[in-house]
């Protein structure tokens, strides 16, 4: 069993959702994570709110959020246990973020602390 | 005629003594005497405390049977227990003086010892004892067993019955646990501020399991089962009496216990067979306990820690509303999602999938259920049997049959057999 991080990528993080949309999105996300947790494959995860986002660059340059300058931004991530990358991909397919056009999920294996990976 | 009357009233008297007064006093006073003495002597002498408490009751039965019940039976018990304790200390003192004079205990120290059986001290001692018995060094089932023995005054027979085990096993288990407490030199005291939260979680787990032991026990003894539950509730209440332990998660656990016990009368029929939630007669639910559960759940809504007891109590709250509404099952599904994210358990996974079927329909739930792969769990096949009902009755029946094969207890087998019969 290995651990994978499933990263939710939004095409445009500055788009504002209505409270109703937010609530429905939250519910769907919880159902998605609940389904993974029910298989005892959920490790950890969190949403990353866009408010108070900062980008820090060399020479102490700090800007508000990544919006505008780069196209995609990260909305949250979860870490899952999976037997293979294919299983992790199956989990990622269920993420409600994919309902938004242009959004994507990035699946990455977590490096083991064994000095090899 | 008179002789018969006398013997009848004597019989009544004896049966009152044996069936009501003594068991009642035993339940309420044994634990106080045992814990106060144990606190006094230290955990290394836990057996002495148990013995003195038992001897006190033995003497009560012998004396009261012939001389009548004293005016204040509790005071009588306390004074006998105190004397026995003092005698024990004196004997020990003589031993210490003459045989092991190197033990540094002066006579004045011993004379000053007063066994304090006041309300305040019995409550504190019981709480401190609860923390001592739930020491992380001993296994959970021994923690429950010892708590039942020392804090609830249960006999070894009753503990064996509750665990569906035998006296010998329980005796061994408790003996080993006492040895361990001695070796670890566990103190009977409140853990320090920093440690109390960590230890409180173990205490709550023990109380939660103690309650479940009563609620789900296979034991045919209804009174015993209800006693286990009410003892768990009593000890939880004790925690709520002290500021350091009156924490939101304690209130949440108490709320959960209230909601569950509100269904006590409705969940078994007169033959001791389990009645499933949807078939229960809700007029048998105890509204007072439901209201109490609601009150403490509200009280528990403080602080920023959402414990699994908060989630389970909230789920139990929704179950006190019998009507099947979309709102109810949506709420239950979200709570199970959170519960599973906090802490995985197979039963929460299965219950979550059942809630999912109520919200999103059986087809979607079947897909999710089959991913659970809990193939050694009869509840898993029972759930699949339920989900396939009216969709594929053949599959429904075959799943119920697998469940029947895996089920171990009589009650579970009965419930599943009924489902198989109904599916024909």
What is the pTM (predicted TM-score) of this model? 0.80
When scoring A24, A36, A37, A76 by the number of chain B Cβ atoms within 10 A, the one with the most, hence best to mutate, is A37
Confidence (pLDDT) at A107: 97
Distance, CA of B31 to CA of B53 (rounded, Å): 8
In B, which residues are within 8 Å of A33 by CB distance? 337, 341
Give domain status of residue A116, yes or no: no
User: Distance between alpha carbon B155 and the CA centroid of its chain, in Å?
Assistant: 14
Select the more confidently predicted residue: A113 or B417.
Answer: B417
- Model confidence at B98, pLDDT cuts 50, 70, 90, reads low
- How many CA atoms lie within 13 Å of B58's alpha carbon, on the beta-carbon side? 7
Over range A9-32, report the average pLDDT: 81
* Ramachandran bin of B341, using left for φ above 0, alpha for ψ from -120 to 50, beta for the remaining angles: alpha
Q: From the CA atom positions of chain A, what is the Rg in Å?
A: 16
Cβ neighbours of A38 in B, within 8 Å: 340, 344, 348-349, 352-353, 368, 371-372
B326, B340, B355: which to substitute to probe chain A, counting the most A Cβ within 10 Å? B340
pLDDT band at B257 (very low <50, low <70, confident <90, very high): very high
Residue B72: is its pLDDT beyond 60? Answer: yes
Which residue's structure tokens are 């027979």?
B157
Min Cα–Cα distance to chain B from A15, Å: 26
Instruction: Give B334 to chain A, closest Cα distance, Å.
Output: 7
Q: Is residue A114 part of a domain?
A: no
* pLDDT bucket at B402, cuts 50 / 70 / 90: very high
Give a three-class secondary structure readout of B328-386: HHHHHHHHHHHHHHHCCCHHHHHHHHHHHHHHHCHHHHHHHHHHHCCCCCHHHHHHHHH
Q: Would an 8 Å CB–CB cutoff place A38 in contact with chain B?
A: yes
* Interface membership of A93 toward B (CB under 8 Å): no
The domain that contains A55 carries what CATH number? Answer: 3.30.70.1060
Asked if residue A76 is part of any domain, the answer here is: yes
**Mean of the pLDDT values across residues B333-355?**
94
Q: Tell me: the pLDDT tens digits for B204-247? A: 988 998 898 788 776 667 777 788 888 889 999 999 988 889 99
Strands ordered across the beta sheet of A2-10: A42-47, A73-82, A2-10, A104-109
Contacts of B349 in chain A (CB under 8 A): 37-40
Across residues B259-285, what is the average pLDDT?
Answer: 83
Domain count, chain A: 1
First CA to last CA distance, chain B = 64
Q: Which residues of B touch A40 (CB under 8 A)?
A: 344, 349
**Nearest-CA distance B86 → chain A (Å):** 56
* Residue owning tokens 């306990």: B289
Taking residue B363's Cβ as centre, other Cβ atoms within 10 Å add up to 10
In Å, how far is B387's CA from the nearest CA of chain A?
17
- Helix/strand/coil percent split, chain A, to 5: 25, 35, 40
pLDDT computed for residue B116 by the predictor: 84
Closest CA to B55 of B73, B75, B79, B80: B80
Sign of the C-alpha dihedral computed for residues B94, B96, B102 and B107 taken in this order: negative
Q: Which H/E stretch holds residue A42?
A: strand A42-47
The size of the A-B interface in CB pairs under 8 A is 42
State pLDDT tens for residues B9-47.
656 666 666 666 777 788 778 888 988 888 888 888 888
Question: Which residue in chain A has the smallest CA separation from B356?
Answer: A31
A42 touches chain B (CB under 8 A): yes
pLDDT at A69 over 80: no
For residue B373, list chain A residues with Cβ-Cβ distance below 8 A. Answer: 39
Chain B CB contacts of A30 below 8 Å: 334, 337-338
3-class DSSP assignment, residue A92: helix
Determine the pLDDT at residue B110.
Answer: 47
Q: Give contacts of B356 with chain A, Cβ < 8 Å.
A: 31
Domain membership flag for residue A35: yes
**A36 lies in which domain range?**
2-109
Q: How far is B344 from chain A (nearest CA, A)?
A: 6
Q: What is the pLDDT of residue B381?
A: 95
What pLDDT, in 10s, does the model give residues B108-145? 444 446 788 888 888 888 889 999 998 888 888 898 88
Q: How many CB atoms lie within 10 A of CB B290?
A: 19
Taking an 8 Å Cβ-Cβ cutoff, which residues of chain B contact chain A?
330, 333-334, 336-338, 340-341, 344, 348-349, 352-353, 356, 368, 371-373
Distance from the B307 Cα atom to the nearest Cα atom in chain A, whole angstroms? 17
pLDDT digits (tens, 9 = 90+) for B318-331: 999 988 899 999 99
Q: Are strands A104-109 and A42-47 parallel, antiparallel or unpaired?
A: unpaired
Record: contact A38-B340, CB cut-off 8 A: yes
| Candidate from B334, B348, B373 with C-beta closest to A27 | B334
Q: How confident is the model at residue B1 (pLDDT cuts 50, 70, 90)?
A: very low
Tell me which chain A residues have a C-beta less than 8 angstroms from the C-beta of B372: 38-39
Chain A environment of B348 (Cβ under 8 Å): 38
Mutate to test the interface with B, among A34, A41, A45 (most CBs of B within 10 A): A34
| SS3 at position A98 | helix
pLDDT at A117 exceeding the cut of 70: no
Residues B154-209: pLDDT tens digits? 888 878 877 778 899 999 999 999 999 999 888 888 888 778 887 898 889 889 98
How far is Cα B26 from Cα A16, in angstroms, rounded to an integer? 66
Give me the half-sphere count of Cα atoms (radius 13 Å) on the Cβ side of residue B175.
6
Q: Looking at residues B401-420, what average pLDDT do you find?
A: 89
pLDDT tens for B283-316 read: 889 999 999 999 999 999 988 888 999 999 999 9
For the segment B390-404, the average pLDDT, to the nearest whole number, is 94
A42 in any annotated domain: yes
Residue B150 has pLDDT above 90, yes or no: no
Interface membership of A30 toward B (CB under 8 Å): yes
Query: What is the structure's pLDDT at A48?
Result: 85
The beta-carbon neighbor of B337 closest among A34, A39, A40 is A34
Rounded to the nearest angstrom, the minimum Cα separation between B193 and chain A is 29
Helix (H/G/I), strand (E/B), else coil: A110: coil
Question: Which residues of chain A have a CB within 8 Å of the CB of B338?
Answer: 30, 34
């Amino acid at each position: 069993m290995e651990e994978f991080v499933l990263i939710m990528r939004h095409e445009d993080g500055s788009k504002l959702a209505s409270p109703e949309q937010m609530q429905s999105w939250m519910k769907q996300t919880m159902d998605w994570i609940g389904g993974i947790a029910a298989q005892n494959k959920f490790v950890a995860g969190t949403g990353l709110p866009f408010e108070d986002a900062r980008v820090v660059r060399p020479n102490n340059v700090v800007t508000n959020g990544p919006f505008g300058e780069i196209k995609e931004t990260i909305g949250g991530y979860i870490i899952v246990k999976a037997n293979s990358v294919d299983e992790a991909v199956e989990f990622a397919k269920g993420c409600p973020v994919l309902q938004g056009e242009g959004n994507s999920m990035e699946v990455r294996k977590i490096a083991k602390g064994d000095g090899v990976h | 005629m008179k002789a018969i009357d006398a013997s009848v009233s004597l019989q009544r008297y004896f049966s009152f003594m044996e069936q009501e007064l003594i068991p009642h006093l035993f339940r309420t006073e044994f634990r106080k005497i045992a814990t106060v003495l144990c606190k006094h002597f230290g955990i290394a002498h836990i057996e002495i405390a148990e013995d003195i408490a038992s001897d006190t009751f033995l003497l009560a039965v012998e004396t009261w049977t012939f001389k009548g019940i004293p005016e204040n039976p509790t005071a009588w018990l306390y004074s006998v227990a105190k004397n026995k304790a003092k005698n024990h200390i004196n004997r020990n003192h003589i031993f210490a003086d003459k045989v092991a004079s190197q033990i540094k205990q002066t006579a004045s120290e011993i004379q000053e010892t007063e066994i304090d059986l006041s309300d305040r001290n019995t409550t504190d001692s019981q709480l401190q004892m609860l923390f001592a018995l739930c020491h992380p060094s001993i296994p959970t089932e021994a923690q429950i067993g010892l708590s039942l023995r020392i804090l609830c005054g249960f006999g070894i027979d009753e503990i064996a019955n509750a665990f569906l085990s035998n006296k010998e096993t329980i005796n061994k288990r408790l003996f080993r646990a006492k040895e361990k407490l001695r070796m670890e030199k566990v103190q009977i005291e409140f853990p320090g501020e920093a440690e109390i939260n960590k230890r409180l979680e173990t205490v709550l787990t023990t109380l939660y399991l103690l309650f479940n032991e009563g609620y789900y026990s296979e034991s045919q003894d209804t009174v015993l089962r209800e006693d286990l539950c009410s003892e768990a509730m009593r000890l939880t209440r004790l925690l709520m009496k002290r500021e350091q332990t009156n924490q939101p998660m304690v209130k949440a656990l108490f709320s959960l216990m209230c909601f569950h016990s509100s269904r006590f009368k409705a969940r078994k029929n007169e033959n001791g067979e389990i009645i499933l939630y949807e078939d229960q007669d809700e007029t048998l639910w105890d509204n007072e306990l439901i209201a109490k559960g609601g009150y403490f759940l509200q009280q528990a809504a403080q602080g920023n820690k959402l414990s699994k007891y908060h989630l389970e109590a909230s789920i139990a709250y929704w179950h006190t509303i019998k009507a099947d509404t979309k709102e109810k099952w949506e709420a239950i599904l979200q709570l199970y999602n959170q519960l599973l994210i906090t802490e995985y358990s197979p039963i929460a996974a299965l219950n979550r999938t059942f809630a999912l079927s109520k919200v999103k329909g059986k087809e979607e739930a079947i897909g999710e259920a089959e991913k659970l792969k809990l193939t050694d769990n009869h509840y898993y096949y029972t759930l699949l049997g339920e989900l396939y009902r009216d969709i594929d009755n053949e599959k429904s029946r075959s799943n119920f049959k697998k469940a029947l094969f895996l089920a171990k207890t009589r009650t579970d087998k009965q419930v599943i057999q009924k489902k198989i019969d109904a599916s024909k």
